Structure 1
């Protein structure tokens, strides 16, 4: 299924299908399913669905709305704890059908759980910029099991909540944090050439990473400085300013995606490469894991260690890249 899903998207976002080890591929399969399904959906009437943090303690999930003699919102809503954003199981599936509908102001798309509108943890409408992204998020909800809603299988939903809630309030802080770590970017760190233990790593970095650095030079007009010191190095102020200006021009969904990729990759340059279409998913993962993969080739793979790390990285990079592509209005 992964190959067919990603091949359908290749024309627009040019990504390929990284292969996961069978024991750790469930989250990636869920992501791929989210992209490819929920196509046959019809709009329903809007009421309210929310997961929130009204109670400072993690209250149980209401499978049915609390009974009330009044016509208050609580009688037509379902409240879920904010543990949704932390990855724990938040309760049994309480809905039958998932659909999408155009937002009331016709400026975005909503996801419906039966007749209830999905909302963010702070009870804001989950209004997504494109129908494609709304259908992908809807598919994540559609494929939840009856015995429990598992947020760790819903990376697009989490990114949507981040883009709608966190980024607008903390945009300056996010950009400041990304720029603060820019000098220690993964792609600027070079293994010592003269060391016999790292010479193979150095040669591979020159082969794989130097073309990306050449692209950065042509894209921003400043040649990146590579270093082999544990204490890092400093890039030219002009390059830092150019990257900061690019981040400031992004919309909320784009910045959420870049931040997620940079965090997983330990590289803002790799995140920008994906954002600008220079890198595909497999290429980015190869650069991120370049040194570790060489060690695995030499010493072998540790089951339950390396394979889990690889699967987790693939999910994080793939989901953020797919979210970025689906959020863009054509």
Structure 2
């Protein structure tokens, strides 16, 4: 359940599309793709060369706060100004651009990617993300418990029970727990109560919250992290109780280790974005 792929979890990577360095404003991260040769398509788009010297934030008090590359404002893949409500966030995004080497690697710019997603896809569509997060809460990972073995049952109860208790108190909900894989119907009022709690989350807060929800398979873990009832590490560990139990039984492979590390980095970046927005 932790691998459910909802829209927005790992999409809208910072594009690699930009204008030529000699004119116009730099777009947030893509270059013109080379001509494709049938059967010889590259596995991933080539990285573009760094075309700027200085990455900084506009000097005005703001908000919004914009990132500048050699004095020119950066734009998103959809040509929106890369503008943020928090100077702390803008400084962190500028630091990602400043840290690039000879080439610009979007994979090393998680904050930039999430800001791009917010500006290009979430603004004006906030209710869609709220609905999706609420839908996760109605079939949340934490409500599905193992029937056995007893060690796994105990681990789930220890890691998930306090989060359920927090969510019931914070949201005013009652969550029904079930054993096995059969669907568990949650009380219908829960959805409205979760949506009410999400009403105060604007686009810049909904994006990282949605990322954390899809990475963990749990709206409750994401909300507890956003509300600082859980640390990122505690939420991540809780989301992987089942997986860690299986690893203890059978071991793990290198591919799984690499994938999990990449997803943890995204989770940490999402929590950091929330903290930077304030």
2:118 aligns with: 163
Q: Does 1:233 align with 2:184?
A: yes
Q: Is the partner of 1:184 in helix, strand or coil? A: coil
Q: Provide the rounded CA distance (Å) in 1 between the counterparts of 2:224 and 2:94.
A: 28
The structure that has the greater radius of gyration is: 1
Contact 1:264 1:317 in 2 (8 A): yes
Q: 1:289 aligns with which of 237, 240, 245?
A: 240
Equivalence map 1:52-63=2 (5 Å): 63=20
String of CA shifts for 1:215-244, please: whole Å, max 9, x gaps.
Answer: 112112233111124232111122221111
2:252 aligns with: 301
Q: Does 1:173 align with 2:128?
A: yes
Q: 2:268 aligns with which of 318, 321, 324?
A: 318
Query: What is the number of residues matched between the two proteins?
Result: 254
Q: Does 1:145 align with 2:96?
A: no
Query: Normalising by the residue count of structure 2, what TM-score does the alignment of the two structures yield?
Result: 0.84
Shift of 1:77: 3.0
1:212 aligns with: 163
What is the CA RMSD across the aligned residues, in angstroms? Answer: 2.3
- State which drifts further: 171-180 or 268-277: 171-180
Contact 2:68 2:74 in 1 (8 A): yes
Q: 1:165 to 1:185 in 2, by over 3 A?
A: same
Q: Provide the rounded CA distance (Å) in 1 between the counterparts of 2:21 and 2:191.
A: 52
Where do 5+ consecutive residues of structure 2 fail to align?
1-13, 34-43
Shift of 1:137: 0.5
String of CA shifts for 1:234-260, please: whole Å, max 9, x gaps.
Answer: 111222211111112211111111111
Q: Provide the rounded CA distance (Å) in 2 between the counterparts of 1:264 and 1:272.
A: 13
Where do 5+ consecutive residues of structure 1 fail to align?
1-50, 53-57, 66-74
Point out 4+ residue stretches in structure 1 off by more than 6 angstroms. none
Q: Is the partner of 1:181 in helix, strand or coil? A: helix
Q: 2:218 aligns with which of 267, 285, 302?
A: 267
Q: Is the partner of 2:58 in helix, strand or coil? A: strand
Q: Provide the rounded CA distance (Å) in 1 between the counterparts of 2:209 and 2:19.
A: 35
Contact 1:89 1:149 in 2 (8 A): no
Q: Provide the rounded CA distance (Å) in 2 between the counterparts of 1:83 and 1:321.
A: 32
Contact 1:163 1:256 in 2 (8 A): yes
1:99 aligns with: 56
1:27 aligns with: none
Shift of 1:181: 3.1
